[in-house]
Chain A
Amino acid sequence: MIRRAMTDIVLVGPAALAVVLFIFLPVAVVFILAFTDYQVGASRADWIGFENFAALFGSRLGRNALINTLVYAAIVIPASVGFGLLVALGLHGLTPRMPRLSAVLRTIYFLPVAATLVAMAVSWQMLLHPSLGLMNSWISALGLSPQQWLSDRGLVLYTLAAIGVWQSIGYNMVLFLAGLAAIPATLYDAAAVDGAENGWTRFWTVTWPMLGPTTLFVLIVTAANAFRVFETVATMTQGGPAFASDTIVYSLYREGFVYFKAGYASAITVVFFLALLLLTALQVALIERRVHYR
């Protein structure tokens, strides 16, 4: 009996300890810190109730980071899911006729997912460089006026969102391709018997409903990643100019690890975490309502 218990402890103990020490304990601590004015290195901290949250939602800087993140997500989610679906539909149709070409295109679209985002952001920064970059040189050739892609306050967030879309289309495409491959051909035959002849009708009567679970999963993953945007911001703009591209996770990093305001940064963390949990709850609720037809 004791030997059995010892075996269990040896097998399970390290992992259980690590999960508690590096996941559950920190989550508990962050929820406590969020209600204090603790500064990194300080010898004491005072309980200040909801003051950090009031500061976050009440200050222009705090609201700005939240709104920027929402705007970023509002562009990246529909664009990268929509384009991901379109590319997947195109490649799915292409595969039987030109399997080689289809495989090559698929590889290309997936490249940004495997690539080191920070290195690619460095390349994007050079591509968008006001005078040495290719983008402005091409734009001028088309007769349009060159842009300050990363230092124009009105433009920078959209530039970052476009890069966010660039990065995630391939991931969504792969998930949609798997979803498309799982749709039985007999359903299309049945739809054809029922008079669904053109591609548009076939899409709305068979493909779209059958892709329900995939679409939902893709939406949730894309949303979670969009809310986490950090690497491109940290590499290319550091939240600037004048906080025009400040986001939740970047402000969490700045407040906590540059200004060492651990209490305030914890409050940002809590808001970020609760938003993500809400998103997941929404997913579960939608699944309960049976959006899928399996």
Chain B
Amino acid sequence: MRPAALIPLGLIALGAAGVLLPFVWMVSVSLKPHAEIFTPDVSLLPARPTLLNYWTALTETEIPRYLLNGAIVTGGILVLQLLVTVPCAYALAHRRFPGRGLLFGAVVAALLVPFHVTAIPIFLGLAQAKLLNTYTALILPFVASAFGLFLLRQAFAQIPAELVDAARVDGMSEMGIAWRVAFPLGLPTVIAFSIFSVTAHWNDLFWPLIAVTDPDLATPPRGILYFRDEESGDDIGPLMAGATLITAPLILGFLLAQRRFTQGLAGTGLKR
């Protein structure tokens, strides 16, 4: 390799080190004993690493509760989204019914609406229904996913009509075709959408900050802020251990299934 070609490589590697810095720092501080954190000579890596902070975070704080809430909320959102979206996307792709064009137009229009725009009326509606401070408040508003409807309709439209007709001749119900023919054939897109949905809602802070004030219902990002704001500034080690624990599931998922994650988070945008 020519020396001149090494310069861009060096710069990219340097940039990568910069990108990694907050990750390394988070894990490093989470492994540092108390005395190494509160010292004027700060060092990047721990001199005597310990898992004590993780023990504290898991046994003396609410971090496990936040992780559980995160699983309940993201899982609840995804299951409901798929239950509602798969049959509708199938019908949009393979059935003719009055208002089909209108509905598809509405889905495309709804793609333009960020969640922030709908937050105030949804908050007022949930307050009216006395549903604030419940899991329902965290889950229900996301059942309608224009993005999911659009993505799955496009995927199901690729399924040959002959296949759908054959299933009908065999006596399958329409709901049966949606779940036993369209769903498995569109599985790559379903997975991409699922990764997108889980990542978006696991990481969301905006809505949990608004919809719940009960710490017992806090999702991981909301919870880590409760933890940070309650402590006196003395618990930085366990705080960083907590931050590492709530980031770990998605990062591990990404490292194990990189192609699927990249597709779910960026590739889905490419096809639009």
Contact = CB atoms under 8 A, between A and B. Distances in A.
Interface of A: 5, 7-8, 10-12, 14-16, 18-19, 21-27, 29-30, 33, 40, 83, 87, 90-91, 93-94, 97, 105, 107-120, 122-124, 126-127, 131-134, 137, 166, 169-171, 174-175, 178, 217, 221, 224, 228, 230-231, 234-235, 249, 252-253, 256-257, 262, 265-266, 269, 272-273, 276-277, 280
Interface stretch (B53-61, B184-192, B220-228): B220-228
Q: Which 3 pairs of residues, A with B, have the shortest CB-CB distance?
A: A15-B88, A18-B144, A118-B221
Contacts of A105: 12-13, 16
Q: What is the interface of chain B mostly: helix, strand, loop, or mixed?
A: helix
Given A25-B121, A111-B251, A122-B224, A230 B205 contact: yes
B144 A114 contact: no
Contacts of B15: 83, 87, 109, 169
B88 A16 contact: yes
Contact of B203 (A19, A118, A134, A266): A118
A94 B106 CA distance: 44
A111 B20 CA distance: 8
A94 B5 CA distance: 9
Contacts of A122: 26, 224, 228, 239-240, 243
B220 A116 contact: yes
A15 B240 CA distance: 40
Nearest to A169: B19
Contacts of A231: 203, 205-206, 221
* Chain B CB within 10 Å, residue with most, of A117, A134, A137, A171: A134
Interface residues of B, number: 96
B250 A114 contact: yes
A30 B95 contact: no
* Chain A CB within 10 Å, residue with most, of B11, B42, B125, B270: B42
A90 B103 contact: no
Contact of A115 (B125, B251, B262): B251
A137 B225 CA distance: 26
Contact of A23 (B118, B123, B174): B118
B127 A40 contact: yes
A33 B247 CA distance: 38
Contact of B247 (A90, A116, A252, A257): A116
